């Protein structure tokens, strides 16, 4: 039982007159601070402060002084008024098609890094369902922003054409979007998956199964291709009944494991292409009294923190959330500073295969 101290529940003591005066002075200072005050405090020209506030480059030493002056004075720009004058809002829209651990880690890093460059982030959730993009477009058209960072699966050009009609810089991640002239940050899914499956093969496994997602999604397609590459190079056949397809959900991993272990000759190792399906695999194994490594070796794409805490710990492919976020922010800032007329760029980020204890060596 938690007992609250009665002293803590008393009404707060009113501030003294002296304290009220000090608080009033602080509020007045913050309310009346102007761009001129910031310039004087920072020891730079008013024009330098103006360039910084409007997102233009200034010397690093000046930037640090201006940031410190803004913080000390509590100076706040009128974002709406600024947008009306310059069409610059210092706001970036981030559109996510999911909020699993991968997306939330990337989002957290993106928000932090944009904030460090003086930008706010507005987040939207886009489900790949009919009419969802139309609804999102209506909302985004009514609100001002400078650019869009977007995660999702685009199976046609109509969706992207709708977004590009906004005439704002767009940077995609987590989808190849082939044939589209648009900036994107990708993960080398194929190469990382190949290395992970090669590890299982080196440990003596030949009957290796995979739980993948739809081939319409480039991330799933790349992971499956990496699986096939490793098997082919080792002279091993990809057995059709060892290939299970899901939709990234925990339940997909759960039912796939049941299906695989019910086979007359079940696999000795399994590659799951995302951590949610891996959790479903672990749940089904626990229900069946099966032990990771002893009864079935396991590798997961994605590496949530708790994987290293399990016994045995899970071998996994770790996506560098901070690097992905840095590339997204870098690409967007380049577009915001240089415009959207130049040809698109593609950056590919490498992943690490973290070897732990979930893959046993076959005798």
Neighbour count for residue 116 (Cβ, 10 Å)? 10
Taking only the tens place, the pLDDT of each residue in 251-270 is: 999 999 999 999 999 999 99
pLDDT at residue number 337? 87
For residue 116, pLDDT beyond 60:
yes
pLDDT at residue number 221? 93
The domain that holds 298 is classified in CATH as: 3.40.50.2300
Does residue 294 share a domain with residue 236? yes
Q: Is residue 3 assigned to a domain?
A: no
pLDDT band at 67 (very low <50, low <70, confident <90, very high): confident
For residue 11, pLDDT beyond 70:
no
Does residue 315 share a domain with residue 194? yes
For residue 176, pLDDT beyond 90:
no
Q: Is residue 163 assigned to a domain?
A: yes
CB 307 within 8 A of CB 314: yes
pLDDT at residue number 13? 37
DSSP 141-188: HHS--SEEEEE---SSHHHHHHHHTT-S-EEEES---TT---EEEEE-
pLDDT at residue number 22? 40
pLDDT at residue number 199? 98
**252 or 21, which is more confident:** 252
Question: Rounded mean pLDDT of 190-198?
Answer: 98
pLDDT at residue number 341? 66
Neighbour count for residue 121 (Cβ, 10 Å)? 17
Does residue 178 share a domain with residue 281? no
Does residue 256 share a domain with residue 173? no
Q: Is residue 263 assigned to a domain?
A: yes
Question: Which domain does 169 fall in, by range?
Answer: 89-187+322-351
Q: Is residue 78 assigned to a domain?
A: no
Could you tell me which of 72, 12, 2, 64 has the C-alpha nearest to residue 41?
72
The CB-side HSE value for 298 (13 A sphere, CA atoms) comes to: 30
Does residue 214 share a domain with residue 180? no
**77 or 74, which is more confident:** 74
Q: Is residue 363 assigned to a domain?
A: no
Which of the residue ranges 91-105, 195-209, 317-331 would you say has the lowest mean pLDDT? 91-105
Between CA 354 and CA 52 the distance in angstroms is 42
Does residue 230 share a domain with residue 214? yes
pLDDT at residue number 1? 33
Taking only the tens place, the pLDDT of each residue in 140-165 is: 777 788 999 988 765 555 566 777 77
Q: Is residue 121 assigned to a domain?
A: yes
Output helix, strand, coil percentages for the chain, rounded to the nearest 5: 50, 15, 35
- What is the pTM (predicted TM-score) of this model? 0.74
Does residue 225 share a domain with residue 116? no
Taking only the tens place, the pLDDT of each residue in 305-315 is: 999 999 999 99
Does residue 299 share a domain with residue 281? yes
Does residue 328 share a domain with residue 262? no
pLDDT at residue number 43? 93
Question: Rounded mean pLDDT of 213-236?
Answer: 94
Q: Is residue 358 assigned to a domain?
A: no
Q: Is residue 24 assigned to a domain?
A: no
Does residue 280 share a domain with residue 160? no
Does residue 254 share a domain with residue 292? yes
Question: Rounded mean pLDDT of 52-73?
Answer: 83
- What does the block give as tokens for 74? 């509590």
Does residue 208 share a domain with residue 315? yes
Question: Rounded mean pLDDT of 114-135?
Answer: 82
Q: How many domains does the chain have?
A: 2
pLDDT at residue number 8? 34
pLDDT at residue number 347? 93
Between CA 250 and CA 213 the distance in angstroms is 12
For residue 343, pLDDT beyond 50:
yes
pLDDT at residue number 35? 80
């Amino acid at each position: 039982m938690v007992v609250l101290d009665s002293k803590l529940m008393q009404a707060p003591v009113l501030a003294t007159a002296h304290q009220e005066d000090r608080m009033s002075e602080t509020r007045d200072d913050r309310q009346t601070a102007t761009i001129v005050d910031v310039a004087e405090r920072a020891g730079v020209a008013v024009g330098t402060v103006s360039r910084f506030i409007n997102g233009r480059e200034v010397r690093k030493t000046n930037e640090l002084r201006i940031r410190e002056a803004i913080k000390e004075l509590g100076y706040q720009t009128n974002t709406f008024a600024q947008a009306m004058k310059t069409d610059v809002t210092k706001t970036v829209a981030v559109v996510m098609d999911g909020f699993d651990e991968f997306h939330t880690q990337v989002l957290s890093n993106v928000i932090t890094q944009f904030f460090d460059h003086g930008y706010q982030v507005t987040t939207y959730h886009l489900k790949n369902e009919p009419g969802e993009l139309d609804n999102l477009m209506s909302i985004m058209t009514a609100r001002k922003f400078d650019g869009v960072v977007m995660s999702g699966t685009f199976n046609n050009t109509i969706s992207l054409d709708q977004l590009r009609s906004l005439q704002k810089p767009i940077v995609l991640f987590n989808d190849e979007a082939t044939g589209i002239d648009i900036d994107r940050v990708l993960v080398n899914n194929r190469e990382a998956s190949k290395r992970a499956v090669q590890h299982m093969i080196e440990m003596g496994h030949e009957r290796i199964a995979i739980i993948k997602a739809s081939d319409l999604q480039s991330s799933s397609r790349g992971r499956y291709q990496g699986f096939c590459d490793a098997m082919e190079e080792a002279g091993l056949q990809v057995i059709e009944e060892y290939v299970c397809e899901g939709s990234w959900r925990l339940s997909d991993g759960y039912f796939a494991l049941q299906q695989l272990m019910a086979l007359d000759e079940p696999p000795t190792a399994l590659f799951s292409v995302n951590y949610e399906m891996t959790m479903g695999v672990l749940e089904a194994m626990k229900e069946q009294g099966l032990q990771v490594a002893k009864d079935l070796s396991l590798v997961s794409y994605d590496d949530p923190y708790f994987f290293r805490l399990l016994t045995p710990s899970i071998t996994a492919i770790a996506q560098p959330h901070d690097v992905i976020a840095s590339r997204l922010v870098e690409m967007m800032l380049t577009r915001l500073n240089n415009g959207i007329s130049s040809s698109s760029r593609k950056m590919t980020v490498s992943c690490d295969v973290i070897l732990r204890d979930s893959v046993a060596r076959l005798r």
